[in-house]
Amino acid sequence: PDSICPIYSLIIFIPMMPNTALFPNGKSGPLADSSSYQQAPCAALAIKPAAGANIPDTTWTYKSVNEKDLQMSVFLPGGYEQGTRFPTFVVFHGGSWTGGEASWHYADCAYWRSRGMVAVSVDYRLKERDKVEVPLACVKDAKSAIRFLRTNATALKIDTDKIVVAGASAGGQLAAATAMIDAPTTNDDQDDLAISSRPNAVILCNPYFRCRKDLSPPNFITKELPPMITFLGDQDRAIKVDDLLAFHEALRKEGNASEYYVGKGGKHGFCNGRDPRNRFFYWSVLLEDRFLVKHGILKGELTLKVPNGVATLSEKDYDAYK
């Protein structure tokens, strides 16, 4: 399970009429009724990025279900107002599909914003809070989030050929599922299936694949999957190193690009950036950045800044499988 640390943010309350939602263009509109879903209309926002702080610039509503808005926290890169299309980072938090929150990955999003990406951390339905079947409803939401970005790519300035999906623990199952599971039952009934939910690259941090077989990504390894990079700590009690090694080797056997890194001493959730002095966070981001450059998602130099006093990992501190 992930630990929790305080998150400080500014909350602005906007009075609204009943049964309305605030959409990305700052306008309000009707919510879906209790039996339907609607994607929010959207337009690009003229908002100045938050100068590197781990605070989102805005939120986008990617769909509404049973009068509940599902939103993504959005980090906009420098030059967003003047730009046209940006590579995009999409992350799903962990929490066993029962807990967790988007703020757990604000540190990741802040870094990718500094690299010129639109970065979003997605809120999705949870078992107890939303009274849904998991992880099925979560997978549906994950796919809807990607389709929302592609559907509204022009207005939101999304490069649809450079969408990177990431996830930790249960969020790793969701990220992998968007790339690997095509079963019709995993799509929201109101999704436009002509719009692909498959990302262009996948980042997995201690992905937890123990769920029903028809939703477990290792059962759906085929050829021509997006490039994947996976991280695990060798002290993770929830996931075996050999299980993810088998996943990596099966991907490679089918001709897919895959890299797998095992951090020595790392426990479950070891790559999370909520602790600004977590050396595994900076190590994983460094390798992710190189991976995305290698596969043509990003260009340019690293913008990673490791705080003074935080030790960097050497090659003896981890095992690499490529």
Measure CA of the first residue to CA of the last residue in the chain; give whole Å: 28
Indicate the SS3 state at residue 276: coil
DSSP 19-65: TEEE-TTS-EEEPP-TT-EEPPP---------TT-SS-SEEEEEEEE
The residue-averaged pLDDT of 146-161 equals 98
The residue-averaged pLDDT of 92-99 equals 98
pLDDT for 45 equals: 41
Please tell me the pTM assigned to this model: 0.86
pLDDT for 53 equals: 78
Percent over 90 (pLDDT), the chain: 83
> Could you report the per-residue pLDDT of 22-46, keeping only the tens digit for each?
333 333 333 232 223 334 434 334 3
CB distance 242 to 272 below 8 Å: no
At 319, the pLDDT band (50, 70, 90 cuts) reads very high
Q: Which of 5-14, 104-113, 307-316 shows the lowest per-residue confidence on average (mean pLDDT)?
A: 5-14
Strands 68-75 and 118-122: antiparallel
Question: What does the alpha-carbon distance between residue 91 and residue 108 come to, in Å, rounded to a whole number?
Answer: 9
Q: Which residues of 107-129 are buried (b: 16+ CB within 10 A; e: fewer)?
A: bbbbbbbbbbbbbbbbbbbbbee
The residue-averaged pLDDT of 109-129 equals 97
Taking the CB of residue 28, how many other CB atoms lie within 10 A of it?
14
Strands 28-30 and 20-22: antiparallel
What is the H or E stretch that residue 221 is in?
A: none
Closest CA to 40 of 15, 11, 63, 72: 63
Taking the CB of residue 61, how many other CB atoms lie within 10 A of it?
22
- Please report the beta strands in 79-227, taking only residues with DSSP state E, as ranges in sequence order: 86-92, 118-122, 158-168, 201-205
> Could you report the per-residue pLDDT of 251-299, keeping only the tens digit for each?
999 999 999 999 999 999 999 999 999 999 999 999 999 999 999 999 9
pLDDT for 27 equals: 32
The residue-averaged pLDDT of 3-12 equals 32
